[in-house]
Amino acid sequence: MGPKRERATTESEQLVALVHQYKVLFLNPATSNRDQTWAKPYKHLLDQIVEIQAVCFKAYPHANHPDVEGACRRKLLARKIQANATRCKKERNNEAGWINNVASLVFEHRPSIFSNKSDERVLHRDSGLQHVNVDQKYKRPDFVVGLSMTTSFVPYIGPLASDRCSPFADGSTCFPFLVVEAKSEKAGPGFEAIQRQSALAIRSCLKLQTDLETNSGNELLHPLVWFIGFQGDEWRLYCAMPNADETKVVDCWHGYLADEDQALQLLLIMDWICFWARDVYREAVLKCMTAVTSLDRGVSPAETIFSASGDDTGSEVSSRAVSLALRSSRPPPVRPSPLPQHAEIPEAGQMHESLNDFAEDTSVGDQSSSFKDNQGGDATEDTNDIVVVDARSPLMEWKHFSVPEEGAELLEFLRSASWDKRFRETAWELLELLTDEVHTLRLSRRVVRDLWEGRSESSDQEFEDEEPIATLVVCRSRFDEATWQVVQSYTVITCSQEAAQQLAIAAQAGESATLPLSYWKAHDCDCLMIAANAFQSLDGRQSALFANSQDAYCLVHDGRGRGGVHTRWERYERGQSRPLLERIETLVNNMGAGAPELTHFANPASQWSPSIDHLFDTRTLDNLPGMLLKRPTRWPSGCPLWCFLTFEPTDSRNIERQLALVREGNGVFTADDMTSEDYQPLAEAIA
């Protein structure tokens, strides 16, 4: 009998052997001793994570918190992450779905001095690893964050070989300090595969730091790489530290993002890591690079002056790419957050108080009511019921984006908005959009601010409040995809004279794009507030038609100035600008405090406003009491299948009769896939 043929070693087994050979050790809380010598330099960092782990959503922020408003914004974002995680879990999303809908929100707030790589191969500099033949996925972490090649790095990057600063082929994303690896829930239980897949990449990133510290001759850096692995809504934070020829990866924090406390803790952990990387880690790296390059040139480190502060990132210097989605080349989809189920919607100034009253159930998919009026009704699990919505009571959504005046912030925004083109093209499009005298108004900052926040009680006006800014106001109406609630969405983009000049520079537009001073003359009356109130006067049929039409309306100058109002609404039909506007709206939803607030205007309609009846032809709806809407296939499955959108006061005893009138009058909309079989379950639902 011949000898047995040896079984071929699988790539997974080969990787396990390499991880063991290069001594990458993952330590769980039970096996790690933070008092050991190798862990003492990092004890204060690990203690900070322990402190954050004790944060409770309901008790945050404490009374003496230095930034209560910012803390409330983090809580709102935590709620959005919690809701998205619940939906992804319910819909059994794949890895890309979790990345686009959840991870993109966790990692969206990063200073401009950071750079990232998504799904990029990490080059291992060790001779034993350079030619290892394993599957490419083991060399491509989902997400790696490091330092941008800003002007502070230029004097020191040049003398160093790129492979001494970056693990990537193009030499960008210097000295990475954060590695992220994702898996869907379908990948099976356990984090062993995530750890095994990321181990060598973590070691290579850490080795860049240890080599830099060794070559600098000082011990300022304390090499450290944070590692985040997540599988579905379960997230874990690790801290990788060197110990002689070993890499110790310590398990620091576990959390499930469907839990409000742990979703908030993860955001606070990310905020703290960004603070540490910006104010501690980056400064130490620069000092070590100063020492290394000075020694290479034979110069004393004391003779070299450098700045460790954040600086502008020139378009020719920076090679980083801002990507809200970690692995997808498409922008992350933005879905509206579920509306709070309350009879009264909180005003903008009540954000802190309203957080305590949020619905305990944050599932996006469970907002349907059992054939009840959707203005305070309790949610049920049945997604085949009908929800009744009053078209006469829309909510208002206000989204304001101010074009940054500071160069680095502007470049970051342009790169984020340039998903399918060069950022200079985006700068040129935005410049054209905001300097178009037909569709853009020149208003003072005060007028724009007063629309949303209400008038200040103080009569003292700062000079900057009177500064003229170019203002684009676009209104469109939609249905919330979780509740069918009608939402009138206002997008306001403002641009100061300084920001316009920066845009022209970024677009390389030259002097031809320079606007005369006469352009920057503010129109300071209350036209914006009065005209914006016009949509509040819509009746039920007009409001329903507006929400179904998908049309956008732009506020433009009206030279006739009837009734003291010098602005009017007209349909926005500029085909080339609509895609840019949609990209900006997506960015606004992903920046700042997360989802825009849904509320009513601070200045309700109390005076005459220009008529907009001519914009809506409702003759086809005159004999109908409402519309019957069927859930589009692309909407979340948790949304009620049917919506009865009423145009007038509705008595629950008359619902069945009104539905019959709607069906007979062909008042069924957005139901292109409806068949005759749909009427049978519909009849059962209203019985």
In three-state form (DSSP H/G/I as H, E/B as E, the rest C), the secondary structure along 204-253 is HHHHHHHHHHHHHCCCCCCCCEEEEEEECCEEEEEEEEEECCEEEEEEEE
Are the C-beta atoms of residues 635 and 438 closer than 8 Å to each other?
A: no
Identify whether 90 is part of a domain.
yes
**Domain endpoint, select from 607, 642, 661:** 607
Do 635 and 495 have their domain in common? no
Contact between 378 and 342 (Cβ < 8 Å):
no
33/182 same-domain check: yes
The SS3 of residue 373 is strand
| Closest to 113 measured CA to CA, from 356, 408, 497 | 408
Provide the domain count of the chain.
3
Do residues 54 and 118 both lie within one domain? Answer: yes
Asked whether residue 582 is assigned to any structural domain, the reply reads: yes
- Residue 337 covered by a domain: no
DSSP-derived letter for residue 33 is: -
Do 556 and 636 belong together in one domain? no
Considering the domain architecture, whether residues 518 and 372 belong to the same structural domain is answered as: no
Q: How high is the pLDDT of residue 358? A: 26
Contacts of 562 (CB under 8 A, 6+ apart): 610
Q: Are 224 and 42 in contact (CB under 8 A)?
A: yes
Q: Are residues 130 and 257 in the same domain?
A: yes
Task: Give the model's pLDDT for residue 31.
Answer: 52
Q: Is the separation of the CB atoms in 529 and 451 below 8 Å?
A: yes
Same domain flag for 603 and 680: no
Q: Is 78 among the domain residues?
A: yes
Helices assigned H by DSSP within 369-422: 407-417
Quickly tell me which residue has 């537009």 as its tokens.
509
Last-in-domain residue among 573, 607, 641: 607
Residue 489, strand partner residues: 397, 476
> Is residue 663 domain-shared with residue 631, that is, in the same domain?
yes
Residues 386 and 523 in one domain: no
Of the residues 544, 573, 607, which one is the last residue of a structural domain?
607
Q: What is this structure's pTM?
A: 0.47
194 within some domain? yes
**For residues 36 and 440, what is the distance between their CA atoms, to the nearest angstrom?**
64
Q: pLDDT value at position 98?
A: 87
Q: Which two tokens stand for residue 623?
A: 């004999």
Supply the pLDDT for residue 125.
66
- Sheet with 234-243: list strands edge to edge: 24-27, 246-256, 234-243, 225-231, 174-183, 143-147, 114-118
Structural domain containing residue 260:
24-303
151 and 97 co-located in one domain: yes
Based on the domain organization, do 377 and 437 belong to the same domain?
no
pLDDT value at residue 56? 92
pLDDT at position 356 is 30
Q: For residues 174-199, b (16+ Cβ closer than 10 Å) or e, as one string? A: bbbbbbbbbbbbeeeeebebbbbbbb
10-residue mean pLDDT profile of the chain (687 residues): values are 52 79 80 67 86 91 84 86 84 82 82 74 64 56 84 66 78 87 71 86 90 81 91 92 89 91 94 90 85 54 33 32 26 29 30 29 29 35 67 82 80 69 75 75 67 48 58 85 87 81 76 58 65 79 85 78 70 63 62 43 49 76 80 82 80 69 65 53 50
Task: Assess whether 412 and 386 both reside in one domain.
Answer: no
The rounded Cα 408 to chain-centroid distance in angstroms is 19
Residue 34: per-residue pLDDT: 61
Report the C-alpha gap between 154 and 159 in whole angstroms.
9
> Would you say residue 64 lies in a domain?
yes
346 assigned to some structural domain: no
In a domain, 150, yes or no: yes
